[in-house]
Amino acid sequence: MTAMSMDDAAPAEDGGILLEARSVTKQFEGLVANRDIDFNIPRHSIVSIIGPNGAGKTTFFNQVSGIYHPTSGEIILDGVDITNLAPHQVAELGVARTYQNIRLFQNMTVLANVMVGRHVRSRGAWFAAVFRLSGIRREEEAIEQRSFELLELVGLRRSVADDLAKNLPYGDQRRLEVARALASDPVLLLLDEPTAGMNPRETRKMTEFIGRLRRELQLTILLIEHDMKVVMGVSERITVLDYGEKIAEGTPEEIRANPRVIEAYLGKQATA
Amino acid sequence: MAMLRRAIAAGLVVAIVMLYLAGVGLIGAFADRQVVTGYLSLGRLMLLAPLMIGGYGMARQAGSIVRRLTLGAAAGGIGGAVFALGILAVLALSPGVRDVFIRFNDDLLSFALFGLEPGPGAVLNVGLGMVLGLVGASLPVVPPVVRRGLLVGVAGVVLMSGLEPFVRPRLTDFDLHDVVLFLYEDQGLLPLAAVVVFAVSALLGVLWRPARAEVQRRFAEADPGAQRVARWVAALLLISFIVTLPQLTGVFLTQVLVLVGLYILLGLGLNIVVGYAGLLDLGYVAFYAVGAYFTALLTSPTSSLAIGLSFWAALPLVVIGSAMIGLFIGAPVLRLRGDYLAIVTLGFGEIARVLFLSDALAPWFGGVQGILSIPDIIGEGSYTIPLLGEIKGPAATYYPLVAFCGVAAFVAWRLKYSRTGRAWNAMREDEDVAQATGVNIVNYKLLAFAMGAAIGCLGGAIFATHLESVFPGTFNVLVSITVLAVVILGGMGSIPGVVFGSLALIGLPELLREFAEFKLLVYGGVVMLMMILRPEGFVPDVTRRRELHEAEEEPEEDDDTADPENPEPTATAAPSQA
């Protein structure tokens, strides 16, 4: 694990900042889910957000992907202000995500799920489809071919392509969700607890896979994860949230040694 | 013991169903409609069928064959006994009280007791119940081939007798008097004819699957050139059948076909909104009404616009105008989901009707009087098609309608397997995720409404010119419900399903005129039963069928090859094309 993270650390140093969050605050009625969060993701890095349950990690994710809009503060993706964009606009700019509780298009086929992911990178309008205007057949074939490639990349057999997504085993559903996200050719991939519910072996494979994705697809990855092994193994930088606030930030080694982090995690357990 | 309790419960349900059918008058209405003249009427069949279904239900439970058959017979016997008891109870009532149950008149009571004295009649009911329960119970036990043969045979006999008013005159037209004499006496089949019809239908039912499999196998093995030829030949055969249908069926049946076609058109439109995009629209009648009224306004010389365009000149304006109305209705409901959307669209449907009816707008829409003297579709009353001769009457509407249905089905089919169709499906499955995956929810919802409106208005336009008048009363909520029932019966998202649904729900009731009174009752029952027993519909979409009957599906039977509407995806999926 450690060896891999050393290898992967190299490309993170150049390329500047891909995503920048400036004092992002999100308030639901009385509850402050995120308070004044400043947060940077360097290009081609793997960054993790950790924190106890209810710390505001997923809320932050939802703001980056446009599902929520911050109460105050701003979010900049590659120089573009995405603070108040709709989710489909954010997706078009290259942010793709997976969900903590897998959310596939259950009653569509495996292949169709990935093909929907390709939506933002294709243009075919309804009238073009009805009249088979020039190019539409080629575009459809390209979408399908790319989708098959992605299924292969995430390790799904071609023979399941026509099965319904909901009939896949759990681990394959997670993979399919990743394939769907990758289909939009994202620059930033948000993974919400990608190893949740997996056994140690599956978890190890997923961890390796995340590293491979960054190397092979030049991705930048933001990760929410509970499994400390995964977090420490794969990420260059870690941000720790607690009660909606950022309490620490740094390399895995720094975070491991940080007394506030230990308190947030262990202190809670001690009092419980 | 537990099993016996279930048999008693099943018997009670069966008896209640029988008494209910009798009580609402269905049995009485069909008591004289002969299936096999002198032996079996449709009313009798309706009384007997529940007994068999009860037995069938019992035999689907686990257990040894003997046990299942016994329980089936027990359920049937209990059903017959409780039914007979119910009938005897009514008989025992004093005449004044019995008048409350208006449908339980002397005719019906005597019919229920087979015209016998109460005692023997009741015993016969019990005995027949046991026999039919046993027969029903043997259905899951016998090989599937036998089961299919039996059911298709019975269906063939019922259909042949039901179609008598249409088959007889056509046979006479073609000078086949001997065939008529062989087949029919009064409305029903003669016993020998019934046996022949049963045997032929059963044979067809048994041979259908292997034959289809064989054709499919040969088709799959053929080279691409031959496949293309085969596809064209099949298409040509289908088209020539559809085109010659009015000649074969005569005026009245063509009139029925026009009605069926109208609902196919409406169903195709609603299928896009509900089946593809998952937007439960209960006010679809609004688009139908808008299409009809726009057409009336533009074509009728006596309408308030009084410009008297021809139908074909008005059509583009009608389609564009209706699509805009679709957007107009779609916009306010963009944020609503599921039940809320259904309620609001239901309201819109009613609003449309009330607006067309209102006195305030009467100067434009004519209020209760509606709009009259709409020219027919060609403007001349008849036209000539090469080879078919002069086309007039309902057939004059039939051909343009078929063309419209073809266009609508084509559009629906192309969209289904497109980027647009996938975006709609994704939206149906999970709106939030679809949006986060890059689907512009607003645009695609509006597109679905506009598309549904454009297809629905075609139906309205045809309807207006067919009747040559429009009245607000026609466009009530029942139309919306009926179209939805058509879509559900066939299978949501399935194009052949719409055709099937319309034939079954619109066509059949027209053939059985005694039925008219009970149409809504039966629609309600059918939709409920479908939702419980076969939610994917009778002619389901391939993926939908897989989703709902995963476990009981025969292994991989006809997954790709059986898709009747689209042989293409498998072709494009094959690497040879890439």
Model pLDDT for residues B121-161, shown as the tens digit of each residue:
999 999 999 999 999 999 988 888 899 999 999 999 998 88
**B316: which 2 tokens?**
């583009």
Report whether pLDDT(A257) > 80: yes
Model pLDDT for residues B417-459, shown as the tens digit of each residue:
999 999 999 999 999 999 999 999 999 999 999 999 999 999 9
For A47, the enclosing helix (H) or strand (E) is: strand A46-50
Mean pLDDT of A106-128: 93
Residue A171, C-beta contacts closer than 8 angstroms, at least 6 positions apart: A198, A202
Is A185 in CB contact (< 8 Å) with chain B? no
Weakest-pLDDT range from B31-35, B289-293, B375-379 = B375-379
- How big is the A-B interface in CB pairs under 8 Å? 118
Q: What is the pLDDT of residue B385?
A: 80
Q: Which residues of B touch A (CB under 8 A)?
A: 410-411, 414-415, 418-423, 425-426, 429-430, 432-441, 447, 451, 543-544, 546-547, 550, 559-560, 572-573, 577-578
Q: What is the pLDDT of residue A18?
A: 94
**B364: which 2 tokens?**
């434009």
Mean pLDDT of A59-86: 94
Q: What is the pLDDT of residue B103?
A: 84
Whole-number Å distance between alpha carbons of B491 and B569: 20
Model pLDDT for residues B158-168, shown as the tens digit of each residue:
988 888 888 88
Task: Compare CB distances from A91 to B436, B451, B543 and report the shortest one's residue.
Answer: B436
SS3 A35: strand
CB contact under 8 A, A108 and B426: yes
Whole-number Å distance between alpha carbons of B90 and B98: 7
Q: What is the pLDDT of residue A10?
A: 43
Distance, in angstroms, between B557 CA and closest chain A CA? 14
Tell me, what DSSP letter sits at residue A160? G
Split at pLDDT 50, 70, 90, the class of B295 is very high
Model pLDDT for residues B74-94, shown as the tens digit of each residue:
999 999 999 999 999 988 888
Report whether pLDDT(B512) > 90: no
**Cα angle vertex B107, ends B105, B108, to 5°?**
70
Whole-number Å distance between alpha carbons of B78 and B133: 9
Q: What is the pLDDT of residue B57?
A: 87
Q: What is the pLDDT of residue B341?
A: 93
Q: What is the pLDDT of residue B425?
A: 95
The crossing angle, in degrees rounded to 10, of helices B394-416 and B419-429 is 80
Q: What is the pLDDT of residue A14?
A: 56
Whole-number Å distance between alpha carbons of A235 and B438: 27
Whole-number Å distance between alpha carbons of B127 and B113: 12
What does the mean pLDDT of chain B come to? 87
CB contact under 8 A, A108 and B436: no
Model pLDDT for residues B477-489, shown as the tens digit of each residue:
999 999 999 999 9
Is A217 in CB contact (< 8 Å) with chain B? no
Q: What is the pLDDT of residue B561?
A: 37
CB contact under 8 A, A130 and B411: yes
Residue A42, C-beta contacts closer than 8 angstroms, at least 6 positions apart: A12, A13, A15, A16, A17, A18, A220, A236, A237
Split at pLDDT 50, 70, 90, the class of B101 is confident
Parallel, antiparallel, or unpaired for β B34-36 and A80-81? unpaired
Residue B96, C-beta contacts closer than 8 angstroms, at least 6 positions apart: none
Whole-number Å distance between alpha carbons of A58 and A111: 28
Q: What is the pLDDT of residue B121?
A: 92
**Cβ-based contacts of B541 with chain A (< 8 Å):** none
Percent of chain B with pLDDT over 70: 93
Whole-number Å distance between alpha carbons of A61 and B277: 27
Report whether pLDDT(A24) > 70: yes
Task: Compare CB distances from A129 to B414, B426, B434 and report the shortest one's residue.
Answer: B414
Tell me, what DSSP letter sits at residue B116? S
CB contact under 8 A, A92 and B578: no
Q: Is residue B335 classed exposed, middle or buried when 0-12, 13-18 and 19+ CB atoms within 10 A define those classes?
A: exposed
**Cβ-based contacts of B410 with chain A (< 8 Å):** 130
Mean pLDDT of B216-227: 88
Distance, in angstroms, between B410 CA and closest chain A CA? 8
| Cross-strand partners of B382 | B392
Report whether pLDDT(B564) > 60: no
Residue B62, C-beta contacts closer than 8 angstroms, at least 6 positions apart: none
Could you tell me if residue B181 is left (phi over 0), alpha (psi between -120 and 50 degrees) or otherwise beta?
alpha
For B391, the enclosing helix (H) or strand (E) is: strand B389-392
Parallel, antiparallel, or unpaired for β B40-41 and B184-185? unpaired
**Cβ-based contacts of A112 with chain B (< 8 Å):** 422, 425, 543
Q: What is the pLDDT of residue A267?
A: 60
ipTM: 0.90
Tell me, what DSSP letter sits at residue B567? S
Determine how many CB atoms are found less than 10 A away from the CB of residue A135.
12
No. of helices (H) and no. of strands (E), chain B: 26, 6
Tell me, what DSSP letter sits at residue B470? B
Weakest-pLDDT range from A30-39, B238-247, B336-345, B512-521 = B512-521
Whole-number Å distance between alpha carbons of B305 and B293: 12
For an interface test with A, the pick among B422, B439, B445, B494 (most A C-beta atoms closer than 10 Å) comes out as B422
**Cα angle vertex B409, ends B407, B412, to 5°?**
110
Split at pLDDT 50, 70, 90, the class of B384 is confident
